[in-house]
Amino acid sequence: MAYLINGALGAPYNPVPIEDDDDDDDYGHIARRTRRIEEEARTGRQLAALVASRNAHRASHDGYGSPSQSDDLDREFQIEAVLEADIAEVIDLTGDDDFPPIPARAPTVPRDRVREVRSHELPNGIRLQPGTTVELKQPLPRFGVEFLRLTSIIKSGWDQDVTLRGLGFARTRQLGGMLPSQLNEVAMVAEVSNSSGRQWVEEAMIDVKPSDILCVRELRITNALFPDHRFSRSDFEEKGKRWVEKHAPLVCRYRYHVHYNGSNEKPCEWAFVRICERESDPKYKTMDDKNINRWRGGKVLGGSHNPAGLGHPVCDLETEPSSHVRALNPSPQQRYTAGDVFSGAGGASRGIERAGLKLMFAVDHWAPAVASLRRNFPHSRIHDMDVFDFITAKDTGCKVDILHLSPPCQFWSPAHTVAGRNDEDNIAVLFSCTDLIKKHRPRLFTVEQTFGILSPKFQEFFNLFLQGFTKFGYSVRWKVLPLANYGVPQTRRRLIMIGSAPGEKLPPFPPPTHNKDGTGGLKPWATPKSVLASLPRGLVHKLHQPHNIKRYDPPKRRWNADTLARTITTNGGQNYHWTGRRDFTLLEYAVLQGFPTWHKFEGSYVKKQIGNAFAPSVVKVLYDHLVDWLLEQDGFDPASARRKNSRAGLPADLSPDAYIRLDDNDEDDNGTPSAQRNVRDLNRAAKQELNQDNDTDMMDLDGLDALSDTETLRDGEGPPEGGEHHGRWDVMEMMDVDMVRAGEEGVIDLTVDRGRGTAEDPCVLSD
């Protein structure tokens, strides 16, 4: 394979590939594609310049400060707003599935006098039957489908009109560069309605007439990695590319799924799914376990991190499939591993740890973010280095079970509104993800990115980014998710991608936990008022000093705090307290962004650290879902295995300086009568309600005793999994008290719900 070197596109991290099968006639196509990508980069620079000009004009009139050239993320969200109309023309951004359902997206055959027949003979004598693959005279306009594998032949109506029904296939070169463009490689195309309730195979069917058929072709559907089972090299060398294209076998290794919400004609989700062993033609299938073994050298069932060393070894799946080596549960301390690149201040890392994974490393090159990472994740390797240095470093290559990537989309960075020598590096940052996948070879990966990259203005750019994963045989799913559906009280939307290695099944997206009205068994959207009500009056915290925060005189317009806040960005995103009199405090911004109150921000630019983050509360939901998926794929019961990690990610440091203090007098002292009375009342109520026959060893908090970092309630067992509390745990629920486990010896810390006292976000009453 060669690489076209052309301006910003000729870097090792940013190549335009020229496949070995391409001849000189194709170079013109590649050159045209290169020019389109360069035009997209130019469009990005123009958008950045437009937004920067608007910001400068606004700053000169509003009197609240000038725009900062460092706030790239703010401009990213502003550019999203500019692009949203174009994106909404082709993509369903509503996040709703309330559109009326439709029975199918493909043409349907009238139901009067319908019958299936075993075969049908064309006028040229070719006999068709289910299982035959045919080539169409003209590709279908949607996705360039030009081949059908027949599943049924139907006669209908009084004249017994013949309809051929089957699954459609398009050459990979017709898919805009999302898959490598390799000769005679095809992908199955499946359009699916999310709300129809039908199997995807039924919905993906395409109907054509016998007169549409050109000829019969050989199609090999396989889960084997490229180039297995393709045409022979001798045919290519002796008969030429044109003959191979018209006569040699076709090979399908992917399904391309396009999802719709009900009858909405705009897609809402996409996926490239590797053909699995079960879907392959018998003659061309291989074990899925062999594919994962060849890609990453096997896998550890139940998770790669096992400090006790007593868990399951790396399985050599070439000789022994994973189904033969499963145990009932992973070992007690075993966990899946993760890495976080472009980590910022640790939003994704925090959610990953809370989901029970072992965070092996985090990577960032911005000093304030690195300081926050080191403070919050002392047991993980924090790499303060440029992503390219990280990729090439010899001591940074550990394999992980899941890898998270939040690459900045810098081709529209305001610092690069004019083309220059740095453009190559700026564009290459996004494409470094390809080398990160190759370096760490994760079983699963996730990407968080601006949805602006899905604009038709940047189609070539995104498609080439996607090919960076599919070129290695990864399955990839992507969708624009409204984060309010996962508990974030903002209008924030992000492009989220999930990928799985060759041989691994591709997970779906986690189901929403919230919706606007709280219907269908979901919670209502969290709002700024409901979330910030958890911060008690009189709270003293270095990031929460409402009396010292910026004031607005005259006040800004009041707004309804029972609705979603605007998207929080690196300068707050035009958010302010709903009274209109002040800005939010930094702690309020952090809570609105989904951070637990005990996450620590170091150094300067705290608001930027917060706005840059992938909301930890959303990451926890996502990674809980992915861990359960891996456990199930590894043969374990997720509910049973997850019970052992119910305390995952909670802080081990219970020192007073690490947490919020409750203080009625706004002084740095928790010995106020009010605070003592709260603890005493809770203790007395607990003593009255708890059954003395249980195993609880409750210390006396009456009188002069206080709850310190070491003096905690102790109990041998916690509440059952799944949110079901019985017995004494019901007492705790009635008292608005949650018992949160911390440490390794069954220590439980008393936390108060009004102070963010949940298992996800405890507020410790410290002395």
Q: pLDDT tens across 436-445, in order?
A: 999 999 999 9
Residue of 43 and 118 predicted with greater confidence: 118
Q: Are residues 374 and 502 in the same domain?
A: yes
Q: What does the pLDDT read at residue 479? A: 97
Q: Cis ω on the peptide bond leading into residue 554 (within 30° of 0)?
A: yes
Q: Estimate to the nearest angstrom the gap between the alpha carbon of 473 and the chain centroid.
A: 18
> pLDDT category, 484, cuts 50, 70, 90?
very high
640 plus 654 within the same structural domain: no
- Provide the pLDDT confidence category of residue 26 given band limits of 50, 70 and 90: low
Q: Does the structure show a pLDDT above 60 at 718?
A: no
Residue 45: its pLDDT value, please?
64
Angle, CA 311 vertex, CA 307 and CA 313 arms, to 5°: 110
User: What letter would DSSP give residue 657?
Assistant: G
Name the one residue in this structure whose structure tokens are 């070197």: 5
Q: Which two tokens stand for residue 646?
A: 């119910």
- For 519-587, the DSSP string reads -TTPEEPP-HHHHHTTS-TTEEBTTB-GGGS-B-SSPPPP--TTSPBPPP-TT-TT---TTSSBPPPHH
Query: What is the model's pLDDT at position 753?
Result: 34
pLDDT tens-place string over residues 262-293: 777 899 999 999 999 999 999 999 999 999 99
pLDDT classification of 408: cutoffs 50, 70, 90: confident
Percent of the chain with pLDDT over 70: 66
Pick from 603, 360, 378, 589: which is nearest to 492 by CA? 589
- Residue predicted with more confidence, 469 or 689: 469
Give pLDDT, residue 654: 41
Residue positions counted in the chain: 767
Please check whether residue 330 lies inside any domain of the structure.
Answer: yes
**pLDDT for the residue 61:** 57
| Res 668: pLDDT | 33
pLDDT given for residue 754 in this prediction: 35
278: which DSSP letter? G
Could you tell me the residue range of the domain that residue 726 belongs to?
650-767
- pLDDT at residue 639 in the model: 86
- Least confident residue range of 365-374, 454-463, 707-716: 707-716
Among 315, 409, 433, 763, which one carries the catalytic annotation?
409
Burial string for 334-362 (b: 16+ CB within 10 Å, else e) reads: bbbbbbbbbbbbbbbbbbbbbbbbbbbbb
* pLDDT given at position 95: 67
d(CA 671, CA 328): 50
Q: Is 535 exposed, middle or buried (0-12, 13-18, 19+ CB in 10 A)?
A: buried
3-state secondary structure of 182: coil
Predicted TM-score (pTM) of the model is 0.78
CATH number for the domain that contains residue 192: 2.30.30.490
Predicted confidence band of residue 455 (pLDDT cuts 50, 70, 90): confident
Nearest in space to 747 (alpha carbons), one of 721, 718, 715: 715
Radius of gyration (Cα) for the chain, nearest Å?
A: 29
Under a CB-based contact definition with an 8 Å cutoff, are residues 250 and 169 in contact?
yes
What was the pLDDT predicted at 573? 67
d(C-alpha 418, C-alpha 415), whole Å: 8
Who's near 426: CB < 8 A, 6+ residues apart? 410, 411, 413, 416
Query: Rounded mean pLDDT of 590-601?
Result: 95
Across the range 655-680, mean pLDDT stands at: 37
Whether 420 and 331 share a structural domain: yes
Residue 13 located in a structural domain:
no
pLDDT mean over 645-658: 58
Lowest mean pLDDT among 101-115, 437-451, 643-657, 685-699: 685-699
Q: Which of 541, 739, 749, 753 is nearest to 652 (CA)?
A: 749
> HSE of 109 in the Cβ direction (CA atoms, 13 Å)?
24
**What 8-state DSSP symbol labels residue 379?**
T
146-150, 278-282, 721-725: least confident range: 721-725
Helix (H) / strand (E) element for 270: namely strand 267-274
Q: State the CATH number of the domain containing residue 360.
A: 3.40.50.150
Is the predicted pLDDT of residue 665 greater than 70, yes or no? no
Helix (H, G, I), strand (E, B) or coil at 174: helix
Within a domain: 171: yes
The average confidence (pLDDT) of the chain is: 77
Residue 96's pLDDT band (boundaries 50, 70, 90)? low
Same domain membership, residue 488 and residue 515:
yes
Q: Supply the pLDDT for residue 108.
A: 57
- Summarised one tens digit per residue, pLDDT across range 553-576 is 999 999 999 999 999 987 776 899
Determine contact, residues 475/442, Cβ cutoff 8 Å.
no
In the chain, how many domains are there? 3
Instruction: Looking at the structure, tell me whether residues 190 and 318 fall in a common domain.
Output: no
CA 147/CA 245 separation, integer angstroms: 13
pLDDT of residue 81: 72
- Among 355, 288, 440, smallest CA distance to 628 is for 355
Largest pairwise CA distance in the chain: 99
- List the one residue out of 228, 235, 234 whose CA is nearest residue 284: 228
- pLDDT of 397 reads 85
Residues 350 and 496 in one domain: yes
Residue 721: the pLDDT is 39
- Residue whose pair of structure tokens reads 């809980």 in the numeric block: 624
**Which comes out higher in pLDDT, residue 27 or 60?**
60
Between CA 92 and CA 102, with CA 96 as vertex, the angle to 5 degrees is 80
- Is residue 672's pLDDT more than 50? no
Instruction: Give the count of beta carbons closer than 10 Å to the beta carbon of residue 734.
Output: 11
521 lies in the same domain as 503: yes
> Which 8-state DSSP code applies to residue 740?
E
What is the rounded CA–CA span in Å between residue 179 and residue 299?
26
Give yes or no for residue 706 having a pLDDT over 50: no
Q: What local confidence, expressed as pLDDT, does residue 699 receive? A: 30
Which pLDDT score is estimated for 331? Answer: 84
CA gap 498, 622 in Å, rounded? 10
- So what's the pLDDT on residue 250? 98
Catalytic site includes residue 763: no
Residues 195 and 308 in one domain: no
Q: How confident is the model at residue 766 (pLDDT cuts 50, 70, 90)?
A: very low
Tell me: the pLDDT tens digits for 491-535?
Answer: 999 999 999 999 999 999 999 999 999 999 999 999 999 999 988
Residue 390 phi/psi, 5° resolution?
-65, -40
Highest mean pLDDT, choosing among 293-307, 640-654, 751-765? 293-307
The answer to whether 229 and 185 have CB atoms below 8 angstroms apart is no
**pLDDT higher than 60, residue 112:** no
- Domain match, 298 and 168 both: no
**197 Rama sector, left if φ>0, alpha if ψ -120 to 50, beta otherwise:** left
User: Nearest-CA neighbor of 452 among 58, 143, 48?
Assistant: 48
Place of tokens 């053909």: 275
The pLDDT score that the predictor gives to residue 89 is 77
pLDDT at 340 > cutoff 70: yes
Residue 617 has pLDDT above 70, yes or no: yes
Of 76-90, 262-276, 625-639, the poorest mean pLDDT is in 76-90
Q: Does residue 527 contact residue 563 with C-beta atoms inside 8 Å? A: yes
Same domain for 242 and 362, yes or no, is no
Asked if residue 14 has pLDDT above 90, the reply is no
Residues 247 and 314 in one domain: no
What is the structure's pLDDT at 646?
61
Tell me the DSSP string of 611-654. Answer: HHSPPHHHHHHHHHHHHHHHHHHTT--HHHHHGGGTTTT--S--
pLDDT reported for residue 417: 40
What's the pLDDT score for residue 536?
Answer: 80
- Residue ending a domain, among 624, 645, 666, is 645
CA-based nearest residue to 204, from 170, 157, 162: 170
- Assigned domain for 332 exists: yes
pLDDT at position 634 over 90:
yes
Alpha-carbon gap, residue 354 to 348, rounded angstroms:
10
H or E stretch at 674: helix 673-689
CB contact burial 643-669 (16+ within 10 A = b; e otherwise): ebbebbbbbeebeeeebbbbbeeeeee
pLDDT range class, residue 5, cuts 50, 70, 90:
very low
Domain membership of residue 31 (yes or no) is no
- Look up residue 76 and give its amino acid: E
Decide if 41 contacts 418 (C-beta within 8 A). no
Same domain, 302 and 428: yes
Structural domain includes residue 73 = no
553 within domain boundaries: no
Whether residue 501 is contained in a domain is answered as yes
Higher pLDDT, residue 80 or 59: 80
Segment 405-409 shows an average pLDDT of 87
